[in-house]
Amino acid sequence: MNDLLEVRALNKRYPVGPGRRALHAVEAASFTIRRGESLGLVGESGSGKSTLARILARLIDATDGSIVFAGEELSTLPAARVARTPWRARIQMVLQDPGDSLNPRCTAFQAIAEPMLRLGTATGPSSRAGGSVAERVTELARQVGLPEALLGRFPHQLSGGQKARVGIARALAPGPELLILDEPTSALDVSVQATILHLLDRLRKELGISYLFVSHDLNVVRLMCERILVMYLGRIAEIGPTEAVLDAPLHPYTQALVAAIPGRRRANMPHLELPGEPMSPIDPDPNTCRFHGRCPKAQALCVRSMPLLREHAPGHQAACHVS
Partner 1 sequence: MSGPQPPLLAVSALSVEFRTRSGKVRALDNVSLTLRKGELVALVGESGSGKSVTAFAIMRVLDPAARITSGSLHFGGMDLLAMKDAELAELRGRELSMIFQNPRAALNPIRRVGRQIEDVLLRHAAVPRQALRAQAIAALTQVRIPDPEKRYAAYPHELSGGMCQRIMIAMALACRPALLIADEPTTGLDVTTQAAILDLMRELAHARGMAMLLITHDLGLAAEYCDRVVVMHAGHVVETAPTSRLLSLPRHPYSAKLIAATPRVDRRLDDLAAIAGNLPDLRRADLPPCRFSERCDRYTPTCAAPLPSNTVAAEHAVACHHPL
Phi, psi of 110 (to 5 degrees): -65, -40
Residue nearer to partner 1 on the CB measure, 45 or 76: 45
Q: What's the Cα-to-Cα distance from 323 to each of 122, 253, 300, rounded to whole Å?
A: 50, 11, 14
187 to 206: interface string for partner 1, x by CB under 8 A: --xxxxxxx-xx--x-----
Q: Does 223 bind partner 1 (CB under 8 A)?
A: yes
Q: Measured from the CB of residue 216, what is the shortest distance to partner 1 in angstroms? A: 6
Subset of 156-175 contacting partner 1 (CB under 8 A): 159
Residue nearer to partner 1 on the CB measure, 104 or 262: 262
Judge residue 60's burial from the number of C-beta atoms within 10 Å of its C-beta, 0-12 exposed, 13-18 middle, 19 or more buried: middle
Choose which of 220, 228, 245, 302 interacts with partner 1 (CB under 8 A).
220
Q: Does 279 bind partner 1 (CB under 8 A)?
A: no
| Residue count (the chain) | 323
Judge residue 139's burial from the number of C-beta atoms within 10 Å of its C-beta, 0-12 exposed, 13-18 middle, 19 or more buried: middle
Q: Measured from the CB of residue 201, what is the shortest distance to partner 1 in angstroms? A: 6
Q: Measured from the CB of residue 226, what is the shortest distance to partner 1 in angstroms? A: 12
CA angle 162, 107, 128 (to 5 degrees): 75
Q: Measured from the CB of residue 182, what is the shortest distance to partner 1 in angstroms? A: 15
Subset of 32-71 contacting partner 1 (CB under 8 A): 44-45
How far apart CA 33 and CA 141 sit, in angstroms, is 27
Q: Measured from the CB of residue 5, what is the shortest distance to partner 1 in angstroms? A: 24
Cβ atoms of 92 and 171 closer than 8 Å: yes
Q: Does 297 bind partner 1 (CB under 8 A)?
A: no
Alpha helices in 173-263 (DSSP H): 190-207, 218-224, 242-247, 252-259
Cβ atoms of 67 and 75 closer than 8 Å: yes
Q: Does 84 bind partner 1 (CB under 8 A)?
A: no
Total number of residues binding partner 1 (CB under 8 A)?
Answer: 38
Q: Does 222 bind partner 1 (CB under 8 A)?
A: yes
Per CB under 8 A, residues contacting partner 1 are 44-45, 159, 189-195, 197-198, 201, 216-220, 222-224, 256-257, 259-267, 271, 273-277
